[in-house]
Amino acid sequence: MMEMQEYGDESSHIVLIQMADDHDLEGIEREIAAIRAINDAGFLLRVFRVNRWNEDLSPWNAPAVFGNEDFGAGAEDTLKEVLKTCEDRSRTYIIGGYSLAGLFALWSAYQTDVFVGVAAASPSVWFPGFTDYMKAHELRTGQVYLSLGDKEAKTRNPVMAAVADRIQEAEGLIRCQNRRCTLEWNPGNHFNEPELRMAKGFSWILRQLLQS
Protein backbone atom coordinates (compact mmCIF):
# COMPACT_ATOMS: atom_id res chain seq x y z
CA MET A 1 0.00 0.00 0.00
CA MET A 2 1.16 3.51 -0.77
CA GLU A 3 1.30 6.18 1.87
CA MET A 4 -1.04 9.10 1.18
CA GLN A 5 -0.64 12.61 2.55
CA GLU A 6 -3.21 15.40 2.25
CA TYR A 7 -2.58 19.13 1.98
CA GLY A 8 -4.88 22.11 1.63
CA ASP A 9 -8.63 22.40 2.17
CA GLU A 10 -10.07 19.08 3.31
CA SER A 11 -13.61 20.26 2.54
CA SER A 12 -12.87 21.31 -1.05
CA HIS A 13 -14.78 19.56 -3.81
CA ILE A 14 -11.68 19.85 -6.03
CA VAL A 15 -9.11 17.11 -5.35
CA LEU A 16 -5.68 17.15 -6.95
CA ILE A 17 -3.90 13.79 -7.06
CA GLN A 18 -0.16 13.44 -7.49
CA MET A 19 2.26 10.53 -7.40
CA ALA A 20 5.55 11.48 -5.80
CA ASP A 21 8.91 10.22 -4.59
CA ASP A 22 10.92 11.56 -1.66
CA HIS A 23 12.46 14.32 -3.76
CA ASP A 24 9.02 15.51 -4.88
CA LEU A 25 7.79 15.50 -1.29
CA GLU A 26 10.62 17.78 -0.27
CA GLY A 27 9.24 20.46 -2.59
CA ILE A 28 5.53 19.89 -2.10
CA GLU A 29 4.99 22.96 0.09
CA ARG A 30 6.63 25.14 -2.57
CA GLU A 31 4.37 23.58 -5.17
CA ILE A 32 1.25 24.30 -3.11
CA ALA A 33 2.34 27.90 -2.54
CA ALA A 34 2.90 28.32 -6.28
CA ILE A 35 -0.55 26.93 -7.13
CA ARG A 36 -2.14 29.37 -4.67
CA ALA A 37 -0.12 32.24 -6.11
CA ILE A 38 -1.33 31.49 -9.64
CA ASN A 39 -5.06 31.03 -8.96
CA ASP A 40 -7.70 31.52 -6.30
CA ALA A 41 -9.40 28.14 -6.48
CA GLY A 42 -9.47 26.13 -3.28
CA PHE A 43 -8.27 22.54 -3.46
CA LEU A 44 -7.25 19.44 -1.57
CA LEU A 45 -3.98 17.88 -2.72
CA ARG A 46 -3.53 14.15 -2.16
CA VAL A 47 0.03 13.00 -2.61
CA PHE A 48 0.80 9.29 -2.94
CA ARG A 49 4.35 8.28 -2.06
CA VAL A 50 5.64 5.84 -4.69
CA ASN A 51 7.92 3.14 -3.29
CA ARG A 52 9.23 1.58 -6.51
CA TRP A 53 9.26 4.34 -9.11
CA ASN A 54 10.09 2.36 -12.26
CA GLU A 55 7.87 -0.54 -11.25
CA ASP A 56 4.80 1.18 -9.78
CA LEU A 57 4.33 3.85 -12.45
CA SER A 58 5.09 1.91 -15.65
CA PRO A 59 2.13 0.71 -17.73
CA TRP A 60 4.06 -2.23 -19.15
CA ASN A 61 7.49 -3.82 -19.02
CA ALA A 62 10.31 -2.05 -20.84
CA PRO A 63 14.11 -2.24 -20.72
CA ALA A 64 16.10 0.33 -18.76
CA VAL A 65 17.01 3.47 -20.68
CA PHE A 66 19.21 4.91 -17.94
CA GLY A 67 20.96 2.99 -15.19
CA ASN A 68 20.30 -0.72 -14.80
CA GLU A 69 16.72 -0.75 -13.49
CA ASP A 70 14.15 -2.01 -15.99
CA PHE A 71 10.60 -0.71 -16.06
CA GLY A 72 7.95 -2.96 -14.58
CA ALA A 73 4.22 -3.14 -15.17
CA GLY A 74 2.79 -1.92 -11.87
CA ALA A 75 0.72 1.03 -13.07
CA GLU A 76 -2.53 -0.95 -13.10
CA ASP A 77 -2.20 -1.91 -9.44
CA THR A 78 -1.14 1.63 -8.52
CA LEU A 79 -4.18 3.10 -10.25
CA LYS A 80 -6.48 0.70 -8.41
CA GLU A 81 -5.15 2.05 -5.10
CA VAL A 82 -5.63 5.63 -6.23
CA LEU A 83 -9.19 5.03 -7.43
CA LYS A 84 -10.18 3.69 -4.01
CA THR A 85 -9.75 7.26 -2.75
CA CYS A 86 -11.91 8.72 -5.55
CA GLU A 87 -15.24 7.09 -4.79
CA ASP A 88 -16.97 10.30 -3.65
CA ARG A 89 -18.39 11.41 -6.99
CA SER A 90 -19.56 14.74 -5.56
CA ARG A 91 -15.92 15.75 -5.84
CA THR A 92 -13.91 16.70 -8.92
CA TYR A 93 -10.63 14.81 -9.41
CA ILE A 94 -7.57 16.01 -11.31
CA ILE A 95 -4.50 13.80 -11.64
CA GLY A 96 -1.00 15.03 -12.28
CA GLY A 97 2.63 14.12 -11.99
CA TYR A 98 6.18 14.87 -12.98
CA SER A 99 8.46 12.76 -15.17
CA LEU A 100 7.38 9.09 -15.06
CA ALA A 101 4.55 10.13 -12.72
CA GLY A 102 3.39 12.46 -15.50
CA LEU A 103 3.31 9.53 -17.90
CA PHE A 104 1.33 7.54 -15.32
CA ALA A 105 -1.16 10.39 -14.97
CA LEU A 106 -1.66 10.56 -18.73
CA TRP A 107 -1.96 6.78 -19.04
CA SER A 108 -4.52 6.75 -16.21
CA ALA A 109 -6.82 9.01 -18.23
CA TYR A 110 -7.04 6.26 -20.86
CA GLN A 111 -8.19 3.78 -18.21
CA THR A 112 -10.94 5.70 -16.40
CA ASP A 113 -13.19 8.73 -16.74
CA VAL A 114 -12.82 9.64 -13.05
CA PHE A 115 -10.33 12.42 -13.76
CA VAL A 116 -11.64 15.60 -15.38
CA GLY A 117 -8.14 16.73 -16.24
CA VAL A 118 -4.50 15.67 -16.40
CA ALA A 119 -1.45 17.78 -15.54
CA ALA A 120 1.55 15.99 -17.04
CA ALA A 121 4.68 18.04 -16.40
CA SER A 122 7.79 16.89 -18.26
CA PRO A 123 6.17 13.46 -18.70
CA SER A 124 8.22 10.50 -19.88
CA VAL A 125 6.44 10.25 -23.23
CA TRP A 126 9.64 8.75 -24.63
CA PHE A 127 8.50 5.54 -22.86
CA PRO A 128 8.69 2.70 -25.43
CA GLY A 129 5.40 2.22 -27.23
CA PHE A 130 3.47 4.95 -25.45
CA THR A 131 2.54 7.16 -28.38
CA ASP A 132 1.49 4.03 -30.28
CA TYR A 133 -0.76 3.24 -27.32
CA MET A 134 -2.25 6.73 -27.53
CA LYS A 135 -3.04 6.20 -31.21
CA ALA A 136 -4.95 3.00 -30.47
CA HIS A 137 -6.99 4.09 -27.44
CA GLU A 138 -9.53 6.73 -26.48
CA LEU A 139 -8.66 9.40 -23.96
CA ARG A 140 -11.30 9.58 -21.24
CA THR A 141 -10.70 13.06 -19.88
CA GLY A 142 -11.62 16.47 -21.22
CA GLN A 143 -8.43 18.48 -20.79
CA VAL A 144 -4.72 17.78 -20.71
CA TYR A 145 -1.80 20.01 -19.80
CA LEU A 146 1.59 18.98 -21.16
CA SER A 147 4.93 20.66 -20.55
CA LEU A 148 8.59 20.09 -21.30
CA GLY A 149 11.87 21.84 -20.65
CA ASP A 150 13.42 23.34 -23.77
CA LYS A 151 16.70 21.53 -23.06
CA GLU A 152 15.32 18.11 -22.14
CA ALA A 153 15.95 16.62 -25.58
CA LYS A 154 19.63 17.59 -25.43
CA THR A 155 20.93 14.26 -24.17
CA ARG A 156 23.13 11.52 -25.59
CA ASN A 157 20.55 8.91 -24.65
CA PRO A 158 18.81 8.16 -27.99
CA VAL A 159 15.52 7.12 -26.39
CA MET A 160 15.20 10.16 -24.16
CA ALA A 161 16.48 12.50 -26.88
CA ALA A 162 13.22 11.86 -28.74
CA VAL A 163 11.14 13.39 -25.94
CA ALA A 164 10.50 16.71 -27.73
CA ASP A 165 9.22 14.93 -30.85
CA ARG A 166 7.14 12.54 -28.77
CA ILE A 167 5.46 15.24 -26.69
CA GLN A 168 4.49 17.20 -29.79
CA GLU A 169 3.12 13.99 -31.27
CA ALA A 170 1.20 13.39 -28.03
CA GLU A 171 -0.31 16.87 -28.17
CA GLY A 172 -1.47 16.26 -31.73
CA LEU A 173 -3.03 12.91 -30.85
CA ILE A 174 -4.94 14.44 -27.95
CA ARG A 175 -6.22 17.28 -30.09
CA CYS A 176 -7.29 14.78 -32.76
CA GLN A 177 -9.68 13.31 -30.20
CA ASN A 178 -11.20 16.79 -29.71
CA ARG A 179 -9.85 17.20 -26.21
CA ARG A 180 -8.67 20.53 -24.85
CA CYS A 181 -4.87 20.42 -24.68
CA THR A 182 -1.98 22.80 -24.24
CA LEU A 183 1.77 22.24 -24.48
CA GLU A 184 3.97 24.64 -22.56
CA TRP A 185 7.73 24.90 -23.01
CA ASN A 186 9.69 25.74 -19.87
CA PRO A 187 13.28 26.97 -19.71
CA GLY A 188 15.93 24.46 -18.70
CA ASN A 189 16.49 20.74 -18.46
CA HIS A 190 14.42 18.03 -16.83
CA PHE A 191 15.44 18.97 -13.31
CA ASN A 192 14.73 22.69 -13.48
CA GLU A 193 11.98 23.93 -11.11
CA PRO A 194 9.80 20.79 -11.02
CA GLU A 195 7.57 22.26 -8.28
CA LEU A 196 6.75 25.31 -10.40
CA ARG A 197 6.13 23.18 -13.47
CA MET A 198 3.66 21.03 -11.54
CA ALA A 199 1.97 24.13 -10.12
CA LYS A 200 1.55 25.58 -13.61
CA GLY A 201 0.01 22.33 -14.82
CA PHE A 202 -2.53 21.98 -12.03
CA SER A 203 -3.36 25.69 -12.26
CA TRP A 204 -4.09 25.43 -16.00
CA ILE A 205 -6.56 22.62 -15.37
CA LEU A 206 -8.17 24.58 -12.54
CA ARG A 207 -8.64 27.57 -14.84
CA GLN A 208 -10.37 25.38 -17.43
CA LEU A 209 -12.82 24.19 -14.78
CA LEU A 210 -13.60 27.74 -13.63
CA GLN A 211 -14.16 28.88 -17.21
CA SER A 212 -16.45 26.01 -18.15
For residue 50, what is the DSSP state? P
Average pLDDT, the chain: 96
- Name the band, by pLDDT with cuts 50, 70 and 90, for residue 40: confident
The maximal CA–CA distance of the chain, rounded, in angstroms, is 47
Distance between CA atoms of residues 209 and 206, nearest Å: 5
CATH architecture, domain 3-211: 3-Layer(aba) Sandwich (3.40)
| pLDDT at 22 (0 to 100) | 93
48 Rama sector, left if φ>0, alpha if ψ -120 to 50, beta otherwise? beta
Please report the beta strands in the chain, taking only residues with DSSP state E, as ranges in sequence order: 3-8, 14-20, 44-49, 92-98, 115-121, 143-149, 180-186
Sheet holding 44-49, edge to edge: 3-8, 44-49, 14-20, 92-98, 115-121, 143-149, 180-186
- Quick: pLDDT tens for 115-155: 999 999 999 999 999 999 999 999 999 999 999 999 999 99
For residue 41, what is the DSSP state? -
- Name the band, by pLDDT with cuts 50, 70 and 90, for residue 68: confident
**8 Å CB contact between 139 and 174:** yes
- Name the band, by pLDDT with cuts 50, 70 and 90, for residue 1: confident
- Name the band, by pLDDT with cuts 50, 70 and 90, for residue 210: confident
